[in-house]
Amino acid sequence: MNDADKQTGHEELWKQVFGEGHPVLVKKQRRFLSWPNDPRCKLCYAPFAGFGGFFVRLSGTMPSDRNPHYCNKCDSFLQAFPGGAEVLMTVLILDIRGSVDLSGKISPKLYADTVNQMREITSEIIAANNGFILEFQGDSVVAVFPPGFTGQDHAEKGIATAREILKQSLKIVGTDQTLSVGIGVHTGSVYICTVTAAGGNMQGVGVFGQNVNLVARLSAAADAGQALVSIEAASEAKLDCDNENTAELELKGLESPQQVVRLDF
């Protein structure tokens, strides 16, 4: 991750927060989700805008000056308890198909507007399914569905998110043309942890491991308007599979073929 380093420490606390759900955090999440408006803190879901944002500011909760994706209180928690743990969860990665070709056909501003519009629409769907976005990488979105946040049906919600995104009429801004995305979904153990940037400042939360590589490869291999779901995610979600929508793929960087379920819109 360029100049960012993952951290270790406070393993049991991180397992509880992301793998099981910390009772204090879960209580805050449930309360804040009933209050408007987005955007919200990535961890506790405290609203930053509108009516809800007004009331949380009365308690001293507001976007962190150092990292606006988190509230100041969750940011302080991550600073106080840096580290991570290996947790079984569902990961989703999507990106725009033909992005290089598209960026050469429209103006830089229209391309930026198109990517931002895609981010806004997909972010709402991910949040509605109790997942949260770890990062935007250019024209890609990386989202996770940890059991401690999403519930034990995290694989079902990850797959439901992929289906809903594929159903969206994503457009290239300024045209009537459809914007095509490819999606990968996988369930497996990943190392989730705080990530530091140059100078040792905490940058955010990231996921690492071979299972992250696998879902990235699935996303890259998906056709336009398609999601590739690993057999592990499909089994965890008890997805009804048949021979017509399953395949075995050779994925770059992985030694053995991967069995996948294809979801097409």
142 φ, ψ to 5°?
-115, 120
Q: Which pLDDT score is estimated for 200?
A: 58
Beta bridge partners of 6: 195
Residue 229: name the closest of 91, 130, 96 by CA: 91
* pLDDT tens-digit profile, the chain (265 residues): 344 577 777 899 999 999 998 888 889 888 998 898 888 888 899 999 999 999 999 999 999 887 777 899 988 888 888 889 999 999 999 999 888 888 888 899 999 999 999 998 998 899 889 888 888 888 899 999 999 988 999 999 999 999 999 998 788 888 888 898 999 999 999 999 988 765 556 567 899 999 999 999 999 999 999 999 999 999 999 987 776 688 888 888 787 888 899 998 7
Distance between start and end Cα atoms, the chain: 32
Q: Which pLDDT score is estimated for 1?
A: 39
DSSP 113-129: HHHHHHHHHHHHHHHHT
Longest dimension (CA), the chain: 56
What is the domain partition of the chain in residue ranges? 35-80, 84-264
Q: Which pLDDT score is estimated for 160?
A: 96
pTM value?
Answer: 0.86
Q: How many CB atoms lie within 10 A of CB 229?
A: 32
Using CA of residue 169, residue 172, residue 178, residue 179, what is the dihedral sign?
A: negative
CB 234 within 8 A of CB 261: yes
Q: Which pLDDT score is estimated for 2?
A: 42
CB 186 within 8 A of CB 59: no
In this structure, whether the domain defined by 84-264 belongs to CATH 3.30.70.1230 is answered with yes
Query: What element of type H or E holds 247?
Result: strand 246-249
> What is the C-alpha separation between 261 and 238, in angstroms, rounded?
12
By DSSP bridging, strand 226-230 and strand 84-96 are unpaired
Using CA of residue 195, residue 197, residue 200, residue 201, what is the dihedral sign?
A: negative
> What is the C-alpha separation between 13 and 188, in angstroms, rounded?
20
Q: Which pLDDT score is estimated for 203?
A: 67
> What is the C-alpha separation between 187 and 165, in angstroms, rounded?
18
Distances (CA, A) of 79 to 18, 177, 219, 257: 17, 44, 32, 40
129 φ, ψ to 5°?
-100, 20
